[in-house]
C-alpha cells in the first residue's frame, strides 16, 4: 500500500469517526457540559475584571452577572457543573465582601440612607410649606422583588378558622390466640399430699417403736404396687428430713 493510499484511508476513517461522534447523544451531552463549564469560567473572569464596579450604586454589572448565573444554572445537571456554579457564586460573594470591607468602617450612615431615599423616591408636593414627600408605594414596589414571600402569623394549630382534628377512639384489637385460663387445682393432688403425710406419720411410728426394720418389710406390699410406691415415697421424705436412715448390715440386708 502506497503512502497516498494510507493517507486517504486515514482521512476517510477520521471523517467516519467525526460523523459517528456528531450523531452520538452522549458525545453531544459531553460537549454541552464542556461548553457550560467554559461559560462559567468566562463569568468568573468577568467577576474578577469588574470587581471594582460591582459594589457601585450606579453600576448594573452586579445585576447583569447575577442574571447570567441564573440562566446558566438552568442547565446544570452534573456534579462538575454544580461545582462550577458554586465557585462562581462564591467568587461574587467574596468580591462584594472585600469591597464592603474596603469602604468606610462605619458603613452606611443614617444621613446617607435618608439622602438616598430623597434622591430616588421623592415626589412633588403641593403642600404650602414645601416639605418633601416620600413615595412609599414606589419603595414597596422596589422592595417586593427582594421579598416576594409573605410571612403569616404562626400559631400552634394554624389559622384561627381551622378546627383541630378529632382523634379516633382506639379500638381493642381482637386477639389472635385463644383465651387462656389458669389451671384448675385437682382435689386428688391435695388428697395425695394428705395420704403421704398419713403414711409418713404411720411409718415413723413403726420406726420409733421397733427402732430397726428391714426395708422390704417396711415398704413392700405384695398385693398393691401402688401402695408400695407410696410407701417408698413417704420413706424418702423421712430420709430427707433426717428422721430415718437406710444402712446395710453384714449380710447385705437393707435396714431402716
Question: Each residue of 199-250: pLDDT tens digit?
Answer: 788 888 888 888 788 878 788 888 888 888 888 888 888 888 887 878 887 8
CA 106, CA 55: separation in Å to the nearest integer?
Answer: 16
And the C-alpha cell for 121? 423616591
Architecture of the domain whose range is 191-255: Orthogonal Bundle (1.10)
The per-residue pLDDT for 218 is 80
The per-residue pLDDT for 6 is 46
Range from 26-30, 52-56, 115-119 carrying the lowest mean pLDDT: 26-30
Task: Give the start-to-end residue ranges of the domains of the chain.
Answer: 3-103, 191-255
Instruction: For cell 443614617, name the residue.
Output: 110
Average pLDDT over residues 109-116: 82
> Which has more pLDDT, 9 or 67?
67
Contacts of 131 (CB under 8 A, 6+ apart): 125
Q: Which of 112, 100, 113 is nearest to 139 (CA)?
A: 113
Say whether pLDDT at 148 is over 60: yes
Say whether pLDDT at 122 is over 80: yes
The per-residue pLDDT for 106 is 60
Cβ atoms of residues 51 and 99 within 8 Å: yes
Say whether pLDDT at 105 is over 50: yes
Cβ atoms of residues 81 and 37 within 8 Å: yes
CA 239, CA 245: separation in Å to the nearest integer?
Answer: 6
Say whether pLDDT at 7 is over 60: no
Q: What is the pLDDT of residues 66-84, one digit of tens each?
A: 888 888 888 888 888 888 8
Contacts of 175 (CB under 8 A, 6+ apart): none
Amino acid at each position: 500500500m502506497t503512502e497516498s493510499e494510507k493517507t486517504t484511508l486515514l482521512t476517510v476513517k477520521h471523517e467516519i469517526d467525526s460523523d459517528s461522534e456528531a450523531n452520538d447523544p452522549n458525545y453531544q451531552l459531553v460537549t454541552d457540559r464542556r461548553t457550560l463549564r467554559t461559560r462559567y469560567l468566562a463569568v468568573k473572569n468577568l467577576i474578577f475584571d469588574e470587581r471594582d464596579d460591582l459594589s457601585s450604586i450606579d453600576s448594573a454589572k452586579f445585576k447583569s452577572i447575577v442574571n447570567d448565573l441564573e440562566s446558566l444554572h438552568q442547565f446544570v445537571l452534573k456534579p462538575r457543573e454544580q461545582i462550577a456554579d458554586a465557585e462562581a457564586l462564591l467568587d461574587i460573594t467574596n468580591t462584594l465582601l472585600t469591597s464592603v470591607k474596603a469602604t468606610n468602617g462605619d458603613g452606611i450612615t443614617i444621613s446617607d440612607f435618608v439622602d438616598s431615599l430623597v434622591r430616588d423616591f421623592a415626589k412633588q408636593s403641593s403642600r404650602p410649606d414645601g416639605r418633601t414627600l416620600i413615595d412609599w408605594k414606589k419603595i414597596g414596589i422596589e422592595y417586593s422583588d427582594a421579598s416576594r414571600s409573605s410571612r403569616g402569623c404562626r400559631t400552634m394549630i394554624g389559622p384561627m378558622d381551622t378546627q383541630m382534628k378529632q382523634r379516633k377512639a382506639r379500638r381493642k384489637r381482637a386477639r389472635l390466640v385463644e383465651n387462656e385460663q389458669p389451671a384448675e387445682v385437682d382435689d386428688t393432688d391435695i388428697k395425695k399430699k394428705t395420704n403421704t403425710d398419713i403414711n409418713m406419720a404411720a411409718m415413723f411410728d413403726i420406726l420409733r417403736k421397733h427402732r430397726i426394720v428391714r426395708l422390704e418389710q417396711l415398704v413392700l406390699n405384695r398385693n398393691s404396687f401402688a401402695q408400695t410406691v407410696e410407701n417408698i415415697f413417704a420413706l424418702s421424705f423421712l430420709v430427707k428430713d433426717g428422721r430415718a436412715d437406710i444402712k446395710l448390715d453384714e449380710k447385705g440386708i437393707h435396714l431402716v
